[in-house]
Structure 1
Amino acid sequence: MTRTSVAPVISPTQKEDVSELHFPREEVLANAEETVQRRLALERAVVLGNTYKGKIKILFKDVAEIKQIETYIWGLTDKRVILKQGTVIPINRILEVRF
């Protein structure tokens, strides 16, 4: 029997809709190395957004599904990514940052 892997469905979302989402407290990444790499990617994305006005894609998981947003990252705290207009995404819910 052959097993096939099904890619997860990723729902595009707008930054204006993020404030309506619910985020569990659990970490979405499997190990410490992945969390370190995510942090480095987020720091790089802040520089890209603030210096070069470059947009990035963030894949994140709310309570229901994986979502993707294309935006600028304006700031970063220990626990949150800050987008334009004060919208925030918890870092522990971010799966990937794409440049």
Structure 2
Amino acid sequence: MSQPIIIRKEDLIQIRFPKDKVLQSDLEIKIRDRELEKALSLGNLEHGKVKLTFLDLSCNIYQIETTIWALTDESICLKGDLLLPKRAVLSII
């Protein structure tokens, strides 16, 4: 994987996300979802930040550092009413 482009979470509104899942295997998706749950707990209990690496529609790799406020079946909810589709997320650090 090449180095991600580091952006501010506020820049998410300018990004177009892929319509399809970026992770293909069920195991990778389960691991990502488990890591998101851990990151949610970290954010709610300790206000800790995580790094989310994701793809845009053109397959550019981006990374933001943020606190996860909530999760839905389809999205990651961030401060400022920002949403990041789960389907676009490659990894959580």
Which TM-score applies when normalising by structure 2? Answer: 0.95
Gaps spanning 5+ residues in structure 1: where? 1-6
| CA apart distance, 1:24 | 1.5
| CA apart distance, 1:54 | 0.4
For 1:54, the equivalent position in structure 2 comes to: 48
| CA apart distance, 1:8 | 1.1
Deviations 1:46-75 (A, max 9, x none): 110011010000000011300000000000
Determine the C-alpha separation between the residues in 1 that align with 2:81 and 2:70: 9
Q: Tell me, yes or no, if structure 1 residue 32 matches structure 2 residue 26.
A: yes
Aligned pair count? 92
Q: Which structure 1 residue ranges, 4+ long, deviate > 3 Å from structure 2?
A: none
Determine the C-alpha separation between the residues in 2 that align with 1:80 and 1:38: 13
Determine the C-alpha separation between the residues in 2 that align with 1:58 and 1:84: 14
Gaps spanning 5+ residues in structure 2: where? none
Deviations 1:21-65 (A, max 9, x none): 101111111200000010010011011001101000000001130
Which TM-score applies when normalising by structure 1? Answer: 0.89
1:1-99 paired onto structure 2 within 5 Å: 7-64=1-58, 65-98=60-93
Q: If you compute each CA radius of gyration, which structure gives the higher value, 1 or 2?
A: 1
Matched-pair identity in %: 37
Determine the C-alpha separation between the residues in 2 that align with 1:76 and 1:31: 21
| CA apart distance, 1:9 | 3.1
